[in-house]
Structure 1
């Protein structure tokens, strides 16, 4: 009986319900792309009209939104608006913080606390290994907001040897895209450490303006370019009550 009722539904409804079920189950996460019109045409053997109506149905029901020239993205419909971020994801890093919020339906805002050039180098320990950027280095310290709520306190250090004059560019951009498009740098790896702390309200480094102690994720990361050159170091604090982190493993198959 269920299959008979299902067959009576218009094809675009059947397709849209399948995709919505993946969104509800978490198979498609907030900020991720839903299949494109061309992918729907290929996967379901339907016309472009049916594929387009399927995407419009998903959007009209509030599960996704279309961004012109980029695609249709899953909206954040969680009750507490937790943001899910995937560690080590080059795609997520390429998209950048602001664009990631926009595709989830939030309004981003950035306040730059410091933008300066350091003549000396900087270093950080990630996964038990020390990484160094020799000077000069661009330091950018900024606060990242979503719908007027501070979610991330971010400090980046960027090699000016690998990216000359990047300090002349606006900070309101995806640095990852700049590395690839302007400086033609191929990103070879991203390594990250995730830890958690409790940040007291009277801590002088606390920029979250929360009246009580706040759980905070601390994410240390390094972006490596060709020949393991250190392109960027980052240390960011994320509101622990607003973020969830996912990890995707790619185990090698040895055939045994």
Structure 2
């Protein structure tokens, strides 16, 4: 007969294998396992250690235990349009899946006159002043994302004084007490020539690139953030997952590193 901690770890691993728990998702904590199964602290802890020892998850001190990816070519799932995934942030998403993130800031400046964009046929306007942050996002020294964000200084005073090495989404919620109400996104593609002056990916040949335009809204309908990011087309795949019960479309993607 299997020990209790093995049964619990098998239960969690089954959720990972079935896709109920995805790469980057947080697995149940010790306290949650204690409450669910009525076991001791020791049994709950050994269950999580068993999952980690088998390579299904990784514990991040002070944050919890997160699902790693077990596919042979190490595809990493990304959920776009999800508030939870956005809250976790790019760097944290990489860390919990075993990668070392790095960010290179190319530009950090204030635009006095604001900016606008069009997403899904609707025009979104952010009045100035606006913080513009252009940065390159790496995983294990491989550039995956060329990211440009525009953030409302009117809604987030002095946010330009903060480090760019953070999850802005958490700052919006925790420091400025904004309630995020919606995320809208457009996905398109281009072929980026190797000699293009805007190409930072350093690929020897023309590179297929995904362009993701997004807007983050906060109550009562204000534009909090605009983003235009380029993703390496040879490292990412995107899918659309519908959740009819919530009447929303969530975009998800995988990247190959």
TM-score, normalised on structure 1? Answer: 0.91
| 1:60 aligned residue (53, 77, 82) | 53
* Residue 243 of structure 1 pairs with residue 236 of structure 2: yes
Which residue of the partner structure matches residue 130 of structure 1?
Answer: 123
Which residue of the partner structure matches residue 255 of structure 2?
Answer: none
Which residue of the partner structure matches residue 173 of structure 2?
Answer: 180
User: 1 CA distance for matches of 2:245 and 2:60?
Assistant: 35
CA offset digits 1:150-196 (Å, max 9, x no partner): 01100000111111111111100011111111111111111111122
| 1:73 aligned residue (66, 73, 76) | 66
| Structure number with larger C-alpha Rg | 1
User: 2 CA distance for matches of 1:122 and 1:14?
Assistant: 54
Question: Once the 2 structures are TM-superposed, how far is the Cα of residue 135 of structure 1 from its aligned partner?
Answer: 1.0
Larger % of strand: which?
2
- In the alignment, is the contact (CA less than 8 A) between 1:159 and 1:232 conserved in 2? yes
Structure 2 gap ranges (5+): 248-257
* Residue 118 of structure 1 pairs with residue 111 of structure 2: yes
- In the alignment, is the contact (CA less than 8 A) between 2:21 and 2:27 conserved in 1? yes
Question: Once the 2 structures are TM-superposed, how far is the Cα of residue 223 of structure 1 from its aligned partner?
Answer: 0.4
| 2:84 aligned residue (73, 86, 91) | 91
Question: Once the 2 structures are TM-superposed, how far is the Cα of residue 242 of structure 1 from its aligned partner?
Answer: 2.0
User: 2 CA distance for matches of 1:18 and 1:253?
Assistant: 27
Specify the SS of the correspondent of 1:227.
coil
* Residue 154 of structure 1 pairs with residue 150 of structure 2: no
Structure 1 gap ranges (5+): 1-7
Aligned length: 247
- In the alignment, is the contact (CA less than 8 A) between 1:85 and 1:243 conserved in 2? no
User: 2 CA distance for matches of 1:49 and 1:88?
Assistant: 38
Report runs of 4+ in structure 1 exceeding 6 Å deviation. Answer: none
User: 2 CA distance for matches of 1:160 and 1:141?
Assistant: 16
Which residue of the partner structure matches residue 5 of structure 1?
Answer: none
Which residue of the partner structure matches residue 18 of structure 1?
Answer: 11
Question: Once the 2 structures are TM-superposed, how far is the Cα of residue 248 of structure 1 from its aligned partner?
Answer: 4.0
RMSD: 1.7
Which residue of the partner structure matches residue 193 of structure 2?
Answer: 200
User: 2 CA distance for matches of 1:51 and 1:252?
Assistant: 33
- In the alignment, is the contact (CA less than 8 A) between 2:207 and 2:233 conserved in 1? yes
- In the alignment, is the contact (CA less than 8 A) between 1:66 and 1:72 conserved in 2? yes
Specify the SS of the correspondent of 2:220.
helix
User: 2 CA distance for matches of 1:47 and 1:120?
Assistant: 59
User: 2 CA distance for matches of 1:162 and 1:234?
Assistant: 16
User: 2 CA distance for matches of 1:90 and 1:246?
Assistant: 17
| 1:38 aligned residue (31, 37, 53) | 31
